[in-house]
Every structure is written in structure tokens, then in C-alpha cells.
Amino acid sequence: MGPSDVERLVERYRAGWFEHDVDAIMAVVTEDVVFHNVTAGERVEGAAAFRVHVAGILERWPDLAFEERGLRVTEDTGFVEWTARGMAPDGRRVEWDGIDVISCRDGLISRNAVYSSGHAPRTLDAPSS
């Protein structure tokens, strides 16, 4: 894989997240994919566990949206800086910043490491009454 292949693959993967499309996300990952949210202390291994994990995230955050500030790629890795926004379970609208390090192997995503400020999100507005 070259940088342009990695860029297209990571863009497809991220589009699945943007569209809340679990099948689109799963279509571009390896069977032994590792998703490691370092900040949250969450790590899942394997496509089946990853599918359940992604579905859970999207269920908990039904309005989750991302604003990206650039994708950088190497021969086998994409680096994406982003801000996520959504409605927290307590009704607050929050946002947090992060970086994904997305490793590719054999034309698929093999690892996604997430580093974010999700443990201390910024409140955008007060809870609804």
C-alpha cells in the first residue's frame, strides 16, 4: 500500500463513522482488528468484538458528529485530528478533541488507536429541562 491507498481507505473508514454505518466501518477492517481508545481504557480485539463496540458507541451517542482538521498519511498509517460533538447521557451538549492513529495492512484497517480529551469534554450548553 502507498500513501494514496491509505488515504482512500482511511477516508472510507471515517465516512462510516460520520454516517453511523457499522457495516461500512466493518467492510474495511481486518478480522483481527484492534480498537484501542487509550484515554478511555477501552481495547477490543477482533472484528466481532469491534462490531459490538462500535454499535454501542453509536447507540450511546446517536448524534455523534466529527469535525476533522486534516488527514496525514505514511506508507501504512493515517493520522486524523478531530473534534467530536454530541449529547451526553445527562443532556449536556459536549465536545472533545482527539487524534486517531489508524494502521493499515493488506488493504484494510488493522488498528485504530484513539487519543482524546474525552475524559474531560467541554460543555457547549446546559442540560435541557
How confident is the model over 16-71, as pLDDT tens digits? 999 999 999 999 999 999 999 999 999 999 999 999 999 999 999 999 999 999 89
Domains of the chain: 3-125 (3.10.450.50)
Q: pTM (2 decimals)?
A: 0.90
Q: Residue 84: how many CB atoms within 10 A of its CB? A: 20
98 touches 84 (CB < 8 A): yes
pLDDT recorded at residue 128: 55
pLDDT recorded at residue 125: 78
**CA atoms of 43 and 14, how far apart (whole Å):** 19
Q: What percent of the chain has pLDDT over 70?
A: 96
User: Residue 125 in 3-state DSSP?
Assistant: strand
Residues 6 or more apart whose Cβ sits within 8 Å of residue 113? 36, 38, 100, 101, 102, 103
Rounded (10°) CA dihedral 83, 46, 24, 39: -10
Instruction: Copy the grid coordinates of residue 28.
Output: 474495511
Asked if residue 8 has pLDDT above 80, the reply is yes
Name the average pLDDT for the chain.
Answer: 93
